[in-house]
Structure 1
Amino acid sequence: MLQRSRLFAPLFVVLTTSAWIALWMWDAGPYARYLRHASWAELPLVGAICREVPGASLALSALLHSVAWLLMIAAMMLPTAFPLFDAFRRMTNGRENQGTLVALLIAGYATAWALFGIAAHGFDEALHRVADQSPTLLGDGWLIGAAILALAGAYQFSGLKHRCLDKCRSPLMFITEHWRGRSARRESFLLGISHGAFCIGCCWALMLLMFAVGTGSVGWMLALGAIMAAEKNFRWGRSIGTPLGVALIAWSAWIVLRHALAG
């Protein structure tokens, strides 16, 4: 059991590092557009399947978006929740099914983010469809990016974000509030979903920046992942919320001003 405990952190590092390497290789390879907002019908190989098989375009789109999104979550968000996973591992130390319980916790956390990903991609797809049908909005697409930046900046000052952050910053207290160990497997999975929901509550606006600056940009993923990890897991992370909010709002204002002057 002691040997297994010593392996937990290294294995977690290997998992996260592998996700980053996979994203980097994907982004650097010939199929980088799978990570981004390409039309699936235009992609090599996939496009041919989409044109030949009825309904394949929607199915493949959902599948590839899901794989890409979960890989991003593994790289960006799992490290931010490591304190919770490690505290839960220590709390369940001695149980024969400890590995199963930890796996269910992580699966629940990933499920919460997967559901958010479905909603975010659905909203993004709907927005693109509206823009494609509106020449005015299509020509002024920068307004959408500026609005998302302003929203993310303003959310940094919201009480909801700070309440969710407080939950994420106290993993041991969170576990004692949500896990009793009576129906251990079910509670472990629901604990992961609950923590994932609070994590989404404090990070959703920053994650939307991925759609504003381009999904699949490994550089942006690294930057945003580092910011969210610092906010949740370091004492000095509390001090970055205000300057980050100001910076995002200023960036939004600069985009609006630049286009106003250009017009």
Structure 2
Amino acid sequence: MDIVQTLSPSGTPDSTEARRHIDAERASRRVFFGISAVVFAASMAVTIVGCTSMSSMGGMPMPGGWTMSMTWMRMPGQSWAGAAASFVGMWVVMMKAMMLPSFTPILWRYRQAVMVDAVACGRERRVGGLLMIVGTGYFFIWLLYGIGIFVLGVMVAALEMRMPMLARSVPLLSAAVVVVAGLLQFTPWKARHLACCRHAPGSGRSIRADAATAWKHGVRLAMHCSACTAGLTAVLLVMGVMDLRAMTVVSFAMTVERLAPNGRRVARMVGVVLLGVGLSMGVHAR
């Protein structure tokens, strides 16, 4: 936390003014993390209700001994547009629940970085709005991914129902996805995007306090974070996108590797676990 200290005309520290700045900073921090906690709790509650409701619908038994989730199917009387809207809405809420634990500290660092320019330009009161713009840009990218995932999921589900041979190979293909996700954890590509997620917006960096810059910052951060978590997101999809247990485990892995002191080592440990799980799935799929 930055401690701002002003000097009186005589050159001695003005302790009263400094204390006022410290108290204001502490209050802002409490409000920021308090609001974030409320949003996280609300997102988690909606996610739990949605996933529980989806699980209660069961699934469709498929050749190969697995069950297809109803996520990729329309409910009776539902249009494809309605099914897509339902999935994407649930996806965005779920992403908030999964990403907020690691996104919130990054957003706070953005606030500190943008405050320098905001104070210089007399725009301190706009900082709260800029935080909302960053968050909107960030989750807008995840919304776009949700649309793409739904379209892809529906297409794959249709092929699996029409091609029994493909359906029988799904357990083995799922195992291959988990293995590839595990290998991805060891790559320089993963390390680069993980570093961007962990250290954004950069130590000691000042950011312009305007809406366009805030939007670009949120979008750019989401691009790095989605690339960093691509493997784990793929694991969630093959394990069950609306499965609470899978979501909890994947969310925990995403959060720890981005917040732990040695994130790259954690990412490699996650990779080892994924390789073990994938190989075990492959053996049982034979």
Query: TM-score of the superposition, structure 2-length normalised?
Result: 0.78
Name the structure 2 match of 1:58. Answer: 80
Post-superposition offset of 1:174:
7.8
Task: Provide the C-alpha distance between the structure 2 equivalents of 1:227 and 1:79, rounded to a whole number of angstroms.
Answer: 11
Q: CA offsets per residue over residues 230-258 of structure 1, 9 Å max, x none?
A: 11111143322223212222222222222
SS of the equivalent of 2:166 reads helix
Q: State how far apart, in whole Å, the 2-side matches of 1:64 and 1:31 are.
A: 15
Q: Does the CA contact (< 8 Å) of 1:210 and 1:220 recur in 2?
A: yes
Given the superposition, is the C-alpha separation of residues 113 and 164 from structure 1 closer, same or farther in structure 2, using an over 3 Å criterion? same
Partner residue, 1:217: 243
* 2:116 aligned with 1:90: no
Structure 1: tracts of 5 or more residues without a match: 51-56
Cα pair 1:167 1:174 within 8 Å, conserved? no
Identity of aligned residues (%): 21
Contact persistence 1:85–1:102 (CA under 8 A)? yes
CA deviation string 1:67-124 (max 9, x = no partner)? 1100111100122111221012223445221111000000011011112222222222
1:191 to 201, 217, 238: 217
Equivalence for 1:126: 155
Worse overlay, 141-150 or 184-193:
141-150
Counterpart residue number, 1:21: 45
Distance change (3 Å), C-alpha of 1:225 and 1:174: farther
Task: Name the structure 2 match of 1:252.
Answer: 278
1:235 matched to 2:261: yes
Q: Does the 8 A contact of 1:26 with 1:32 survive in 2?
A: no
User: 2:36 maps to what in 1?
Assistant: 12
Q: For residue 73 of structure 1, what is the aligned residue in structure 2?
A: 95
SS in 1 for 2:84: helix
- Contact 2:194/2:225 (8 A) holds in 1: yes
Greater share of helix: 1
Q: Name the stretch that deviates more: 102-111 or 208-217.
A: 208-217
The residue matched to 1:141 in structure 2 has which SS? helix
CA distance in 1: counterparts of 2:208 and 2:215, whole angstroms:
12
Question: Residues 175, 76 of structure 1: CA spacing in aligned structure 2 closer, same or farther, 3 A cutoff?
Answer: farther
SS at match of 1:157: coil
Q: CA deviation at 1:165?
A: 0.6
| Aligned 1:106-125 pairs, distance under 5 A | 106-125=135-154
Structure 2 CA distance for partners of 1:140 and 1:75, relative to 1, 3 Å: same
> Distance between the aligned counterparts of 2:251 and 2:235, measured in 1?
12
Q: Give the number of aligned pairs.
A: 245
Q: 1:31 to 1:165 in 2, by over 3 A?
A: closer
Summarize the Cα distance change of 1:113–1:8 in structure 2 as closer, same or farther, 3 Å threshold.
same
TM-score normalised by L of structure 1: 0.84
The equivalent position to 1:180 in structure 2, one of 183, 198, 208, is 208
Stretches of structure 2 lacking an aligned partner (at least 5 in a row): 1-23, 59-68
Give RMSD over aligned pairs.
2.3
In structure 2, C-alpha distance between the alignment counterparts of 1:70 and 1:89, rounded to whole Å: 23
Partner SS state of residue 173, structure 1? coil
Post-superposition offset of 1:40: 4.1
Match for residue 200 of structure 1? 226
Measured at CA, do residues 38 and 172 of structure 1 come closer, stay the same or move farther in structure 2, by a change above 3 Å? closer
Aligned pair in 2 of structure 1 residues 30, 190: CA closer, same or farther (>3 Å)? Answer: closer
CA contact (8 A) 1:124 1:211 kept: no
The one-letter code sitting in structure 2 at the alignment partner of 1:65 is F
Structure with bigger gyration radius: 2
Supply the AA of the counterpart residue of 1:15: V
One-letter identity of the residue aligned with 1:160: W
